[in-house]
Amino acid sequence: MQKFSYDAAAEVYPSRRFAKSLARYRRFDRAADAIRYIIEEMPPEWLIGTMIDVNGKRREGNAIRALYDAAEYPLERASTAA
């Protein structure tokens, strides 16, 4: 399995279900910040269908959650992140 680069630039594509809401495409300098944004700032129901693109590889939903929960995740986690 290829190691995930939390320091690489990332693009976030929110779920199409919420396209008419405040959810919009965003670009981050670091994937770790993008993952934090998705998990800690977006409503939990938006995780389904939200996609992150890092180095041309896309992950969505539970795969994003797994990156946040991984021991390698470099940022401090919010105590309230569901």
**Per-residue pLDDT tens for 1-47?**
468 999 999 999 988 776 556 668 899 999 999 999 999 998 888 88
- Determine the Cα–Cα distance for residues 49 and 25; give it in Å rounded to an integer: 13
- Determine the Cα–Cα distance for residues 13 and 25; give it in Å rounded to an integer: 5
- Determine the Cα–Cα distance for residues 20 and 28; give it in Å rounded to an integer: 21
**51 by DSSP, 3-state: which?**
strand
Domains of the chain, residue spans: 10-69
Q: Which amino acid, residue 27?
A: R
End-to-end CA distance of the chain: 26
In degrees rounded to 5, what are phi and psi of residue 36? -60, -45
Give the pLDDT score at 1: 45
**Per-residue pLDDT tens for 40-69?**
998 888 888 899 999 999 999 999 999 999
